Structure 1
């Protein structure tokens, strides 16, 4: 996943789209060159956080916002029969290819949903929030979600092999 710097003078939709892709690419870069075992390595106890867990979690988050919420699809969670978002964080028994294939598929689907939307003002009811939210807000929420988890990824990667930077 190539990382492209966000435009300094782009329109609102282009800027949101590129910032979201920038953060998606950052997560991919944090995982680049690592083995499945390294990706599953957990942070300091009691946390069970791992890079693979973050990839799986973000696949689940993409699926939730773009397939379920914006797309209205009734699809199950990727890694939980009970609808537990936290299950995605558990990387045990998951291979690199499975996690990244799922994440890339959800990102590709999310891009198609966003591109097909008439405008950033398209609004959908968000059950957990009890009110409507616009595509604009959902995209901002996704940028926030990735940025927060990319901070975790920075620390996880440094603990694995000392690599720093984005």
Structure 2
């Protein structure tokens, strides 16, 4: 039994509540995939040649949260959350692990970004926009993209966790 609460998204809600519910469900799913692992397990890639790890996924989702909700929507100029994680092509980094990276540190930083995003989004309507390379992108689109981003990476996390200890479906 998991200690991480993962409430089901509302079945009959307004659009915003549904989007926020699904995003929070996906966020909680990632946290559950990491629950109970030590730093060595969380830094173990699934299979060569991939270097993808659960700690790297958490770091990446931290960058994704920061990029979409703070850099794009709120127009904040911010450095990457993990040193050396900015990519030359401008895409979200975070997958690469620093020498002494820990799962606890990655989760703590991720939780901070998630809470910041929740607070910040309260100030915006679904139709408010941010700048994405000279094009407007609204909060509705960002929420949908974030749900998709988490769902895709939670599939990766499920495979990584199964490889580590056989646990699936959490």
- 8 Å CA contact retained: 1:70, 1:113: no
Matches within 5 A, 1:1-150: 1-81=4-84, 83-84=86-87, 87-91=93-97, 92-117=99-124, 119-127=125-133, 130-150=134-154
- 8 Å CA contact retained: 2:74, 2:130: no
Which runs of structure 1 show a deviation greater than 4 angstroms over 4 or more consecutive aligned residues? none
SS in 1 for 2:137: strand
How far apart are 1:83 and its partner, in Å?
Answer: 2.3
How far apart are 1:71 and its partner, in Å?
Answer: 1.2
SS in 1 for 2:65: helix
How far apart are 1:106 and its partner, in Å?
Answer: 0.3
CA RMSD of aligned residues (A): 1.4
Partner of 1:155: 159
Greater helix content: 1
- 8 Å CA contact retained: 2:64, 2:92: no
- 8 Å CA contact retained: 1:120, 1:134: yes
How far apart are 1:87 and its partner, in Å?
Answer: 4.8
The separation in 1 between residues aligned to 2:137 and 2:85, in whole angstroms, is 25
- 8 Å CA contact retained: 2:39, 2:102: yes
With normalisation by structure 2, the TM-score equals 0.91
Equivalenced residue count is 163
Gaps of 5+ in 1: none
How far apart are 1:81 and its partner, in Å?
Answer: 4.3
Gaps of 5+ in 2: none
The separation in 2 between residues aligned to 1:25 and 1:15, in whole angstroms, is 15
With normalisation by structure 1, the TM-score equals 0.93
- 8 Å CA contact retained: 2:85, 2:93: no
